[in-house]
Amino acid sequence: MSAKIDDILTAARRHCDEVIRPGVDGWNATRKWPRAASDKAAALGLLGLYAPAEWGGQGLSLGDGIRVYEELGKGDGAYAFALSMHNICTFAVCGFGSEALKRDWARDLTSGRKLANFSLTEPQSGSDASTMYSKARINGDGTWTISGAKAWVSLAGEADIYLTVVKTSDAPGHKDMAMIAIPKGTKGLSFGPLYDTPSYSFLPMGEMYLDNVVVPEANIILPVGKGLQGSLMAIDIARVSIAAGCCGLMQSALDTALGYTKNRKMFGGTALDLDGIQWMLGEVATDLEASRLLYRAAANALGTPEGPLMAAHAKRFVPDAAIKAANTCTQAMGGMGLLTAYGLDRLSRLAQMLRIVDGTTEISRVVIGRALKKRAAELPDVPVPKGFGQA
Ligand SMILES: Cc1cc2nc3c(=O)[nH]c(=O)nc-3n(C[C@H](O)[C@H](O)[C@H](O)COP(=O)(O)OP(=O)(O)OC[C@H]3O[C@@H](n4cnc5c(N)ncnc54)[C@H](O)[C@@H]3O)c2cc1C
């Protein structure tokens, strides 16, 4: 591991201990995005993780940078998710944006002065993105006029730029899709009421409406035909980042349960002296080690042909393990595990949310199933033993 990633991980750990953990309950109570906190994260370099140094970024590899979310996830998985989305969008702007877009936005994004969102989901299309409607008309002067609606827009109204996937024709399917950056404040762009969500209410989420929004062609990030394919690459990074955040969540749940059970007196010793409690928490510890190995292997595979499958394995396995961990740790603490002050209920709800966002567990199973079928087709047939199925 390079010295730079060591420093960044130390900074992320500090940010978690000094800003996220003490702040998160207050953020949820006020239901407001903690911009002062994300500004502090930015000052530590956590908002330009993968962007090159020439644009003010840290220039980290995905394999290294994704580990930051394990640290942030110890404090809060939704906060880690939002920063991950911003980092992926910033990476896209620096990697695929026009020179004009980079000049106008890259440094503001890597410095965290501006925040970015990725908008793919629509009210009628989630897992099946090919049924989206939002559409851009390509004008004679090169500008695009976009109309439609997006749903589940994280940082809705708080982000300064929205990397939006749109169709460019009436043809069904995804071959005409593109991604274009729409700055907040552009005429015709508006937001619906914020969703009412449990346990991460500081993350503003809602619908985004596009009513004849005109954007210059310099804002195109993924050209016509590449919109869905490029988005799926971004989503693979997001899936592994979520798995990393879930590992932080599991560590946090486990540490809470250990810290409590080591002192809880019962049957002449402590709860943690009981084999049954050790076995429960031991299972969480094994799942955590397995999850950590899996997300790190998946992070290192991103950008290779194995990347999408490894990301699916990580997204399928780790959030489920995190839900189990949060619930097991609650159980190990008895009634005390239910008290809000210990935060385990918040962690359970966060883990459930992380099973859904950026491709559900079921969609990961679909990706894995497809890979299994491909492998099966390459394998020699396993014949049925002689005598079976013969009349
Ligand atoms: C907290 C949060 C933040 C989000 N932020 C953003 C954002 O910023 N930008 C954005 O674009 N999107 C965002 N999303 C949307 C998210 O990516 C979608 O919720 C997700 O892709 C699932 O889509 P859906 O909710 O419409 O579920 P649906 O697609 O309606 O799925 C319903 C159920 O059907 C299952 N299912 C679907 N297909 C299959 C299949 N083939 N086989 C078996 N089961 C299947 C699903 O797993 C799920 O259980 C966010 C979501 C959440 C919860």
Q: What is the pLDDT of residues 154-212, one digit of tens each?
A: 999 999 999 999 999 999 999 999 999 999 999 999 999 999 998 899 999 999 999 99
117 CA → ligand 1 middle, Å: 16
Per-residue pLDDT reduced to its tens digit, 92-110: 999 999 999 999 999 999 9
Ranges in the chain, pLDDT < 50: none
Tell me: do 121 and 237 sit in the same domain: no
Name the domain count of the chain. Answer: 3
Tell me the C-alpha to C-alpha distance, in Å, between residue 204 and each of 30, 82, 340: 11, 10, 22
Strand partners, 270: 265
The answer to whether residue 385 is domain-embedded is no
- Identify whether residues 8 and 132 lie together within a single domain: no
User: Do 14 and 90 share a domain, yes or no?
Assistant: yes
Q: What is the CATH number of the domain that holds 85?
A: 1.10.540.10
**What tens digit of pLDDT does each residue of 256-275 get?**
999 999 999 999 999 999 99
Task: Output the CA torsion 316→318→321→322 (10° steps).
Answer: -120
CATH number of the domain enclosing 186: 2.40.110.10
Nearest atom in ligand 1 to 78's CA = 1
Q: What is the Å distance from ligand 1's center to 355 Cα? A: 9
User: Do 19 and 137 fall within a single domain?
Assistant: no
Q: Are residues 99 and 137 in the same domain?
A: no
Same domain, 21 and 155: no
Q: Bridge partners of 88?
A: none
Which residues have any ligand 1 atom within 6 Å of their CB?
117-121, 126-127, 152-154, 205, 353, 356-360, 362-363, 366
Measured between its terminal Cα atoms, the distance across the chain in Å is: 63
Same-domain check for residues 263 and 216: no
Query: Which pLDDT belongs to residue 323?
Result: 98
The verdict on 82 and 184 lying in the same domain is no
For tokens 């590899």, what's the residue? 61
Distances, alpha carbon 122 to alpha carbons 165, 209, 370, in Å: 10, 10, 25
Same domain, 171 and 138: yes
CA angle 221–223–224, rounded 5-degree value: 140
- Report pLDDT for 1: 55
Of 206, 224, 242, the position where a domain reaches its end is 224
Q: Distance between CA 378 and CA 361 in Å, rounded?
A: 26
Within-domain flag for 26: yes
E strand or H helix at 221: strand 220-222
Residue that terminates a domain, selected from 203, 224, 245: 224
389 within a domain of the structure (yes/no):
no
What amino acid occupies position 81? F
Residues of the domain holding 219: 117-224
Residue 373 and residue 297 in one domain? yes
- Provide the residue type at 247 as one letter: C
